[in-house]
Amino acid sequence: MNVTTILLIIINFAGALAVFLFAMKMMSEGLQKVAGSKMRAVLGKMTGSPLSGILTGTAVTAAIQSSSATTVMVVSFVNAGLLSLGGAIAVIMGANIGTTVTAWIITLLGLGGSSGYFDLPLLIAASSLAFLFMKRDKMRSVGQTVIGLALVLVGMRLLKGAMPNLEQYPALLQSLASLGGHGFWSVLLFVAIGAVLTCILQSSSATMAITLLMLYNGWIELDVGIALVMGENIGTTVTANIAATMAGIAGKRAARAHLVFNVIGVTLSLILFRPILSVVQTVIPSDGPMALSLFHTMFNVMNVGVQSWFIPQIEWIVTHLVPEKKAEKESDDYRLTYISRGPVDTAELNLQSAKKELQLFSKQVLRMYALLPELRKVKNAKEMDAVVKRIAQYEQLTDRMDMEINKFLVAVGGGSISGHGSERISTMLRISDNLESIGDSIYQIALTRKIKYSDAVHFNESQNTNLAEMSALVENALLVMDGNLVNYDHADIRAAEDAEREVNACRDRLREEHLDAIKHNRYGYEVGNVYNSLYAQYEKLADFVINVSESIDPSFKKH
C-alpha cells in the first residue's frame, strides 16, 4: 500500500464521515426545533423521582438523537437551579439508554440490505419535501429532521463504500490482528482507543457508526467492538465537561457525575466482560452489528439498573471531586451564574438558562437600587465615597452581565433555531439592554447625589419628602418588573402599567411644583437644578423598568 493510496482512503473516509456528522447535526437540530420548548418543560417537571428522571432522559435523548445535547442541557439546568444534582444524575442515566437508539437506526437502516444504492434515503428525503414548503416553522423543522435522517443513511452508505477491503491489504489486517491478540490487555487498549476517538470526533454516534462498519466489514471481532463501545461511553462525557468548565459548582458536579457514572459502568463491564459477551452471543449467535447494538443497549440498561440504586453515593463522590471551596474562590469574580460560557451546541434548548440569568440580573439591579437611600444618611465625604464606590462596582457588574448575556444569546441565535426561538432571543436581548440601562441610571443618580454633597447643596423638607416619594414609587415599579421576570410566562402587565403611571403622575406634579417654586424664588437656581435633575433621573429609570415588561409581552405598549 503506497502513500497515495493511503491518502485517498483517508480523504474518502473523512468526506463520508463529514456527511454523516453533518446529517446527525441536522437531524438533531430539527428535532430540537420541533420539541425544544416541550423538552425544557419535560426536564423541569418530570424529574421528581429517579425513575421519572431516567425515563425523561431516555425519552428526551431518543427524541433529539443526541446524548451530548441532553447532558449539556442538564448541566445548564442544574446550574440554573431547575434540577437537583440527584435529578440530573437520573436524567443522565436515562440519556445513556436513549442514545442506544442511534445504533439501532444505523444497524437496521444504514447497514440493512436494500434493492438500490440510494433508494431508501431518497424515499425518506422525498417524503419531507412537502414539509419544507409549509409556512409553519414546526412543519419545516419536521422536514429538516426527515432530510437529516435521510442524509444519515447516505453517510452510512458513503462510509461503507469508503472502507477498503482488508483482503487487499494483508499487512493492515495483520496489524489489527496483532492488536487484538493480547487477551484482556487488548480489551483495555481498545477501550482507550474508543474513548480517544470519541473525544476527537466529539460524537459518540460517529464513533459508533465507525465501529459498526468495522465489524460489518470484518475488520474487528465482536469483543474488540464491545471494547470500543465501552470506550465511547467514556469519551462522550467530554462534551458536557467542556461545557461545564465555565459553569457554576452545580453544573460542574453534574458533568462530573456523567463521567463517574460511565467510568463505573465500564469498570463493572470489564470485570464481567466474558459473561456479558457470552450472553450477547447466545441471544444473537452472529458476531455482526446486531450483536454489538444489543450489547450497547444491554450495557447501558444494566448500568442504569445497578447504579440507579446508588445515586446518593454518586452525589457524594462528585461533591468531593468538586468541593465547595472552588465555588468560594470564584465568588469574587463577576461570573455568570446560570449560563455556561463553554460550547453552545443546543441552541433551541439553552434559553431557559438565559431566562434565569435575566432574573438574577434583575436581583442585582434591586440590590444596587437599595444602596441609594444610604447616600442620604452619610456623615462625611469618606462614607459618601464608599457608598458610591459600591454602586460603581454594581454598575460594572451590570455592564459585564449585559455583555456576557448578549454574547451568549447571539451565539445561540447563530445556531439553527426556530422562528419562536429567534423571537425569544430578541426579547431577552431587549430585556438585558434595559436592565443594563437601569444600572447606568442608578449610578447617575448616585453621582448626582455625590455632587450635591460635595457642593453643599441642601434640600428643604418638602424636596426631600418628594424625592423619597418618587424613590418609593420607582422601587415599587422595580419590584413589579422583578416579579414579571420571575413569572415570565404569566407577567402582570397591568401592575407594571399602573406602577409606571404613578411614577409619571408624581414626576408631573413635582415638575409643576418646581416651576412654581423657581418662579416665586422659594429656593435658588443651584438647588433647583440638582433637584430637577434627580426626579427626572428617577423617572427616566422608570422608563427602562417599564420597557422590560413591555419586552416580555410585546402586545403591551407603554402610554
For the domain spanning 350-552, the CATH number is 1.20.58.220
Give pLDDT tens digits for 514-550. Answer: 998 888 888 888 888 989 999 999 999 999 999 998 8
pTM of the predicted model, to two decimals? 0.60
Name the residue ranges covered by the structural domains of the chain: 3-324, 350-552
Please, what sign has the CA dihedral across residues 201, 202, 204, 205?
Answer: negative
CB-CB contact of 413 with 436 (8 Å): no
- Distance of alpha carbon 378 from its chain centroid, rounded? 44
- Distance of alpha carbon 72 from its chain centroid, rounded? 6
Give pLDDT tens digits for 348-396. Answer: 556 777 888 898 899 999 999 999 999 888 888 899 999 999 999 899 8
Give pLDDT tens digits for 78-120. Answer: 765 667 788 888 888 988 888 888 788 777 776 654 434 445 5
CA dist., res. 251 & res. 245, Å (int): 9
> DSSP letter at 65?
T
Please list the helix, strand and coil fractions of the chain in percent, rounded to the nearest 5, in that order: 80, 0, 20
Q: How confident is the model at residue 467 (pLDDT cuts 50, 70, 90)?
A: very high
Give me the pLDDT at residue 326, please.
43
Give me the pLDDT at residue 65, please.
62
Strands (E), 347-454: none
DSSP assignment of 303-343 = HHHHHGGGHHHHHHHHHHHS-HHHHHHHTTS---SSS--S-
Which of 131-140, 213-222, 259-268, 335-344 has the highest mean predicted lDDT (pLDDT)? Answer: 259-268
| Block residue for cell numbers 440580573 | 361
Please, what sign has the CA dihedral across residues 194, 195, 198, 200?
Answer: negative
Give pLDDT tens digits for 398-423. Answer: 998 898 889 888 887 776 666 777 88
Give me the pLDDT at residue 498, please.
93
**Residue 212: CB partners within 8 Å, gap ≥ 6?**
103, 106, 107, 110, 111, 225, 289, 292, 293
CB-CB contact of 327 with 305 (8 Å): no
Give me the pLDDT at residue 537, please.
93
